[in-house]
Amino acid sequence: MKINQVEELVGITKKNIRFYEEQGLLNPDRNPENGYREYSLKDVDCLLKIKLLRKIDVPIEEIKRLENGGVSFEDCMKTQAKRLEDEKNNVEVMIGLCNKLENEVSDFNLVDAQAYLEELKKLEKGGAVFVDLTKNDVSKKSMAGAVLAAAVFILFMVFTIVMVIYASITVHMATPLTILFVALPLLFIIMTLTVLTQRINEIKKGEAYEARKY
C-alpha cells in the first residue's frame, strides 16, 4: 500500500513516517520496477507499536533497542515508568514553587527572579528537570514564521486577483482568460492555507522538535 493509505490507517503523518524510516525503525520494501515504497500490514503493525510507545513518551533510541532485541519489553516499560515517575516528581516540585511564589510575592514587579532562579539551580542539581525552553520557544517561533510567510504570499495572490479584475475591466480582457487568471491565484491561496494548517498541526504535535531531539 502507499504512504497515504498508511497515514490514514495509522494516524501518523507522512513526515513522521519518513522520519521513523530514516531512524531505522521501519524498513518497507520497494517496488523493483519504480523504486517506490510499498508498505505491508507488517509495516502498519510496526507503526502502530511505534505510535503506542511514542504516546507514552518512550524515546526513539529505546524503541530501536526494543526492535533490535537490545532490551526486553519488560525492562523497557520499567525504565519508562521510572522516567515518567521522575517527571511527575518534577511537576510536583514546580507546583510547590508556584504555591511558594503565590504566598511570598504579591506583585509581579516585586519578584526577585534571580533569587528564585538560583533556587531552581539548586533543585536541578538535586535532579529536578524543568520546562525545556528550547522546545516551547522554537515551536512558537516556527509557527509565527509559517503564518507570516503564508500571509505574505496570500496578500500577494489577493493583489494579483485585484489587478486581473482591474485589467479585465479597463482593457476588456476576454472572460475565459479573466476566469483563468483569477482561478489560479485562488487555487494557490487554498493550497497555501492547506499546507499552513498541516504545518501548524505538526508544530503543535512537536514533530519538528522531536526530529531535532532524536
Is residue 111 pLDDT above 70, yes or no? Answer: yes
How high is the pLDDT of residue 209?
Answer: 47
Average pLDDT over residues 6-18: 90
Cell of 61: 533510541
Long-range Cβ contact pairs of 191-195 (< 8 A, separation 24 or more) = 192/150, 192/153, 192/154, 192/157, 193/150, 193/154, 195/150
> Could you report the per-residue pLDDT of 118-152, keeping only the tens digit for each?
888 888 887 777 765 445 444 566 677 788 889 99
Place of cell 493509505: 5
Q: From the options 1.10.1660.10, 3.30.70.2520, 1.10.3720.10, 3.10.20.30, give the CATH code of 3-68.
A: 1.10.1660.10
Give the global pTM: 0.56
Cα Rg of the chain (Å, integer): 25
What does the buried/exposed string (b/e) look like for 67-95 if buried means 16 or more CB atoms within 10 Å of the residue's CB?
beeebeeeebeeebeeeeeeeeebeebbe
Q: Where in the chain are the domains?
A: 3-68, 73-125, 133-213
**Of 54, 75, 56, 57, residue with least CA distance to 66:** 75
Report the chain's mean pLDDT, rounded to a whole number: 85
Average pLDDT over residues 82-98: 89
**Cα–Cα distance measured from residue 53 to residue 58, given in angstroms and rounded to the nearest whole number:** 5
**Cα–Cα distance measured from residue 128 to residue 10, given in angstroms and rounded to the nearest whole number:** 35
Q: How confident is the model at residue 79 (pLDDT cuts 50, 70, 90)?
A: very high
- Read off the DSSP letter of residue 71: S
> Could you report the per-residue pLDDT of 156-211, keeping only the tens digit for each?
999 999 998 888 888 877 888 888 889 999 999 999 999 888 877 776 655 444 44
